[in-house]
Amino acid sequence: MRALILFLILVVLAILIAIGTGFLNINQIRGARAPEVSATRNGVTAKGGQAPAFDVETGSVKVGTKETKVKVPAVVIEKPAQKQTAATTNNSM
C-alpha cells in the first residue's frame, strides 16, 4: 500500500515538473456539461451531458548517434627477464 502511494506521488510530481518546465502543455478545448436528470413514476432518466476535451502538446526528445575518436590507453605486458628467473632458482638451492 505504501509503495502504491509513493508511486502515485512520484507520478504527480513528474507531471507537475513537466508542466512547469514547458515540456507538457494541456489546454481544455471543450468544457464539461452535466446531463439533465429527470425522475418520474417510471424511474430516473438522464439525457445529454458532455465530457470535457483537452488538447495535449508534448515536447520532443531527439536521440541520435555521431562518430567520435576516443583515446584508449595501451596495455603492454612484459615477461620477466631470464636473469631474474635464473637468480631466483639459484637462491632457492
Q: What is the mean pLDDT of the chain?
A: 86
pLDDT score at 92: 53
Cβ contacts of 59 within 8 Å, gap of 6 or more: 22, 23, 24
Report the pLDDT averaged over residues 70-88.
78
Does residue 24 lie within any of the structural domains?
A: yes
Q: How many domains does the chain have?
A: 1
Does residue 47 lie within any of the structural domains?
A: no
pLDDT of 86 higher than 70: no
Rounded alpha-carbon distances, angstroms, from residue 45 to 9, 29, 38, 89: 39, 28, 5, 105
Does residue 55 lie within any of the structural domains?
A: no
Cβ contacts of 79 within 8 Å, gap of 6 or more: none
Does residue 15 lie within any of the structural domains?
A: yes
